[in-house]
Structure 1
Amino acid sequence: MSEIKIKAETRTEFGKGAARRIRRESKVPAVLYGHGIDPIHVTLPGHDLMLALKQPNALLSVDVDGDPQLVLPKQVQRDPIKGFIEHADLLVVRKGEKVTVDIVINVVGDVVGGAMVVTENASVPIEAEATHLPESIEVSVEGLDAGAQIHASDLTLAKGSSLAIDPDTLIVNVVAAPTAEQVEAELETAEAEAGIERDESQAEAESADAEAAPESE
């Protein structure tokens, strides 16, 4: 994974008022910490940071007054409505150092007819060098039938990476797709639990439509 370079400005003002002023200038307050150094408070260009963090586990090279620091995003706070970054905690790392991060699972391929894929874990923690973190782990379900399972131990990891989770952890489960009757029964149960009373005429109409529907060949 290549480094994404971002230039920072040291920050001397703190508090909610200062943070609001920083954001009005399209910048983001951030903190760099780790490796026994005192926390470094900086501001980062908001647009550049947003683009960089679209990449999972982005490795950033943050230039602080001419001193580049390699960092990984540790905690990123976003506006719940607009989605822009409000604050970032960045962990200082060193080349060759191993870190534990969550890597996204990318399921590819098609299962056989009548089966469906259930992703039990959308990501898995792995230990890898900070400068060689994979963006995702690909899992193929091509040709699998109901009953097939893929566990953490079945994952193909990049060289130098290792699982930081129980190898027996279920990642992907291939199950039989529900029938129309099962879907309808589950819908009725959910409606009953929510206190929704289905209109009798509506229920009869839906039943008649189902009976009148032509059978697929």
Structure 2
Amino acid sequence: MSDDFVLQKISAFKRDKLGSIESNRVRRAGRIPAVVYGHGQEPAHISVEDTDLQNLIKNRERVFEIDLDGQVEETMLRDIQWDTFGNHILHVDLMRINASERVTVEVQVRLRGTSPGVTSGGVLEQPLHSLELDCLAHNIPDNISIRINTLEIGDSIHISDVEVPRGAKLHHPEDQVVVHVIAPKGEEEVVATEEETPEVTAE
């Protein structure tokens, strides 16, 4: 990230009244209820323009500034609550931060390529679909990409094999499996049966 990195800024509006009825009124006005917390300060109940928030999400901006009555704070999008169909945002949680400080976040794993082991009949298993990453707030990646195009049956990718942004680190044991390819269950059962069958010697 370059030194001239500039955060996006959106306007925020204080919410004096709380509750579901008031939240629905805010949404009808084209805004999204939100709460800002962290840095040892009291949580602040605010709302932000729906279009502003949608643009941030579309551009994958997780760290941005909010302007509340002239007071500007750096925040990070921590949680989004969607409606049942995943079409409309109902509420968001924002955490106060300093964009140059380190944060710990959950980042989704994105598998790339095709495993030759799967092509030949193996089964792909992914125990970890997201990873806990420690990094600078303005360097949070959209996802962690893992290539699986060399995985044969019996091969695994562990935490120690995962590449992360420079200066970042993962909060997982290095020997923990992220993704692996196993033999089909039918083959596993045949192997197990063969191993369990006692050897019979003719008298």
Q: What TM-score bracket applies, with the shorter chain setting the length?
A: 0.7 to 0.9
After TM superposition, the structure 1 = structure 2 runs for residues 7-26 of structure 1, keeping only pairs within 5 Å, are 7-26=11-30
Unaligned stretches of 5+ residues in structure 1 = 183-217
Give the one of 167, 173, 177 matched to 1:166: 173
In the aligned structure 2, how far is the partner of 1:101 from the partner of 1:84?
A: 24
In the aligned structure 1, how far is the partner of 2:20 from the partner of 2:123?
A: 48
Q: Contact (CA 8 Å) 2:103, 2:137: kept in 1 or not? A: yes
CA displacement 1:1-31 (0-9 Å, x = unmatched): 7633221112222222211110111211111
After TM superposition, the structure 1 = structure 2 runs for residues 133-172 of structure 1, keeping only pairs within 5 Å, are 133-172=140-179
Which amino acid letter does the alignment assign opposite residue 133 of structure 2? I
Alpha-carbon offset, residue 51 of structure 1: 3.5
CA displacement 1:59-79 (0-9 Å, x = unmatched): 121111222211112232221
In the TM superposition, structure 1's runs of 4+ consecutive aligned residues that sit over 4 Å from their partners are 54-57
Query: SS of the counterpart of 2:180?
Result: strand
Partner of 1:191: none
Which amino acid letter does the alignment assign opposite residue 139 of structure 2? H
Taking structure 2 as the reference length, what is the TM-score of the superposition?
0.79
Which amino acid letter does the alignment assign opposite residue 83 of structure 2? D
Query: SS of the counterpart of 2:27?
Result: helix
User: How many residue pairs are counted as aligned between the two chains?
Assistant: 180
Taking structure 1 as the reference length, what is the TM-score of the superposition?
0.75
Partner of 1:106: 110
The verdict on how the C-alpha distance between 1:82 and 1:103 changes in structure 2, with shifts beyond 3 A counting, is: closer
The verdict on how the C-alpha distance between 1:55 and 1:170 changes in structure 2, with shifts beyond 3 A counting, is: farther
Partner of 1:53: 57
Give the one of 28, 34, 37 matched to 1:30: 34
After TM superposition, the structure 1 = structure 2 runs for residues 62-211 of structure 1, keeping only pairs within 5 Å, are 62-81=66-85, 83-112=87-116, 113-114=119-120, 115-176=122-183
In the aligned structure 2, how far is the partner of 1:178 from the partner of 1:169?
A: 22
RMSD: 2.2
Give the one of 1, 4, 10 matched to 2:8: 4
The verdict on how the C-alpha distance between 1:119 and 1:3 changes in structure 2, with shifts beyond 3 A counting, is: farther
In the aligned structure 2, how far is the partner of 1:103 from the partner of 1:56?
A: 13
Unaligned stretches of 5+ residues in structure 2 = 190-203
In the aligned structure 1, how far is the partner of 2:41 from the partner of 2:149?
A: 48
